[in-house]
């Protein structure tokens, strides 16, 4: 019997909407690609994107910059981190998060996750007490949103400033409130595999005047900050503009034009992602070895990827399972590997973090956690094919 295979690439995103392509061509014809290169009376694409994204988020300010990781870096700096300060973060995240903490001069202090891929609140409290950290960079990794009421209560109790990494929760919400509006600052990525695609790019949002003024100056405003799309009262810049270094990391008008065309489709695309997510989830539920995370009714997530665990697989069975799926065209990522590979890594591979921590619960969860992307170029029907292959291969790996 020949086994069925899936042939579409897991890394193929949809095309940029025609309106964005046309606008990008106009920007190129105009030659004014730099965000501060404007004619009299003209508002640059980057500034317009900032206005539109701030309005989408219901926040006062947005800054368009070069990457999500850059936004996280200057968010910490703008929030006032001092050299060597501890910064809490959940241990299941992507490398740019501890990287941003390091870049800002901080020391990552990692917190356990629970089997639903959210931060473990009991461990968070212990680490808040132990570390005395003033900052918590909460990464809503793979779109899993922790109980935000409980997170905020802890932050308040221990006087911790919350910074949200919303790389996978752009368009998502908790109890009807948008992810990214709970903390003091939120950071988003517009790198190709996220919910808006400009190749590379980042967006920072906040309601705080001083944080925004500092973030703008850090991003490299060359004292042209009055051309930014969302601007705190100009007086706020009086001291900040001379006390804050320029860490050059602006977004250009070309990328902004591409993103502006995608933003009006974000909510509709989120619904399209979720149709695919639920179709795959339902198919995987037919196999009782496969454990899917419980998601709170308060969580409106964007199902652009799916995580699951396969019970009781030994390390060699894990290898066989991944290889079996790969042979049939289903590209799984495994967060349990010792060696970091293609967009995955386990926290203990970040060896530059000095005080190495051991997080047994996170290691145990990641040892049998698999992850797959759900690009919108896949149809709902494809989800049945992919789910069937995973189901099959999990059964045969367990027999190996
Ligand atoms: C993609 C990503 C980021 C930021 O990524 P950039 O490549 O710097 O835009 C941050 N956190 C998580 C969890 C991510 O997946």
CATH number where 147 lies: 3.40.640.10
Domain assignment present for residue 6? The answer is: no
pLDDT digits (tens, 9 = 90+) for 105-164: 999 999 999 999 999 999 999 999 999 999 999 999 999 999 999 999 999 999 999 999
CATH code assigned at 283: 3.90.1150.10
Give the span between the Cα atoms of 75 and 135, in whole angstroms. Answer: 11
Domain assignment present for residue 11? The answer is: no
pTM of the predicted model over 0.75: yes
283 and 363 in a single domain? The answer is: yes
Atom 5 of ligand 1 has which residue's CA nearest to it?
A: 68
CA of residue 167 to ligand 1 center, whole Å: 5
Q: How far is CA 306 from the centre of its chain?
A: 14
CA of residue 261 to ligand 1 center, whole Å: 21
Which of 265, 297, 323 terminates a domain? The answer is 265
253 and 270 in a single domain? The answer is: no
129 and 219 in a single domain? The answer is: yes
Atom 9 of ligand 1 has which residue's CA nearest to it?
A: 68
Burial of 209 (0-12, 13-18, 19+ CB in 10 A): middle
- Range(s) of the domain holding residue 149: 18-265
247 and 374 in a single domain? The answer is: no
279 and 191 in a single domain? The answer is: no
Domain assignment present for residue 64? The answer is: yes
Show the ligand 1 pocket: residues with CB < 6 angstroms: 67-69, 93-94, 96-97, 139, 141, 165, 167-168, 189, 191, 202
257 and 331 in a single domain? The answer is: no
In the chain, the number of structural domains is 2
- What does each C-alpha distance from 42 to 37, 49, 109 come to in angstroms? 9, 14, 45
Which of 203, 234, 265 terminates a domain? The answer is 265
293 and 251 in a single domain? The answer is: no
95, pLDDT greater than 70:
yes
154 and 40 in a single domain? The answer is: yes
The token duo for 348 is 């203990």
Domain assignment present for residue 1? The answer is: no
User: How crowded is residue 159: how many other Cβ atoms within 10 Å of its Cβ?
Assistant: 9
CA of residue 193 to ligand 1 center, whole Å: 9
354 and 272 in a single domain? The answer is: yes
pLDDT digits (tens, 9 = 90+) for 291-336: 999 999 999 999 999 999 998 889 899 999 999 999 999 999 998 8
Q: How far is CA 181 from the centre of its chain?
A: 15
- The predicted structure's pLDDT at residue 344: 75
pLDDT digits (tens, 9 = 90+) for 217-246: 999 999 999 999 999 999 999 999 999 999
Q: Can you tell me which atom of ligand 1 is nearest the CA of 71? A: 8
Which of 265, 284, 305 terminates a domain? The answer is 265
């Amino acid at each position: 019997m020949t086994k069925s295979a899936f042939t579409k690439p897991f890394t193929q995103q949809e095309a940029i909407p025609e309106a964005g392509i046309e606008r990008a061509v106009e920007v190129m014809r105009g030659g004014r690609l730099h965000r501060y290169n404007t004619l009299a009376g003209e508002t640059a694409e980057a500034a317009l994107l900032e206005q539109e994204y701030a309005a989408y988020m219901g926040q006062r300010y947005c800054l368009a910059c070069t990457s999500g990781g850059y936004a996280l870096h200057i968010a910490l700096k703008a929030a006032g981190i001092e050299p060597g300060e501890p910064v809490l973060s959940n241990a299941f995240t992507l490398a740019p998060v501890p990287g941003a903490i390091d870049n800002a001069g901080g020391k990552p202090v990692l917190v356990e996750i629970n089997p639903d891929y959210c931060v473990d609140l009991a461990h968070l409290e212990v680490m808040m007490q132990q570390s005395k950290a003033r900052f918590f960079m909460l990464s809503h990794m793979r779109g899993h949103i922790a109980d935000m009421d409980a997170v905020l209560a802890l932050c308040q109790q221990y006087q911790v400033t919350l910074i949200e990494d919303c790389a996978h929760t752009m368009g998502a919400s908790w109890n009807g409130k948008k992810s990214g509006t709970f903390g003091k600052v939120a950071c988003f990525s517009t790198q190709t595999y996220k919910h808006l695609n400009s190749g590379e790019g980042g967006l920072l949002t906040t309601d705080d005047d001083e944080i925004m003024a500092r973030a703008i100056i850090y991003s490299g405003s060359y004292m042209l900050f009055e051309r930014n799309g969302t601007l705190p009262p100009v007086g706020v810049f009086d001291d900040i503009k001379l006390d804050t270094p320029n860490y050059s990391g602006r977004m250009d008008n070309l990328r902004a034009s591409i993103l502006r065309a995608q933003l009006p489709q974000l909510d509709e695309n989120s619904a399209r992602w979720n149709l695919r997510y639920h179709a795959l989830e339902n198919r995987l539920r037919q196999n009782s070895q496969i454990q899917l995370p419980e998601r709170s009714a308060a969580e409106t997530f964007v199902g652009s990827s799916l995580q699951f665990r396969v019970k009781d697989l030994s390390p060699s069975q894990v290898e066989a399972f991944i290889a079996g799926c790969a042979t049939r065209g289903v590209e799984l990522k495994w967060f349990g590997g010792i060696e970091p590979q293609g967009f995955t890594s386990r926290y203990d591979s970040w060896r530059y973090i000095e005080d190495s921590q051991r997080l047994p619960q996170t290691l145990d969860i990641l040892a049998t956690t698999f992850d797959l992307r759900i690009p919108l170029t896949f149809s709902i029907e494809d989800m049945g094919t992919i789910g069937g292959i995973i189901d099959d291969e999990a059964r045969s790996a367990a027999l190996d």
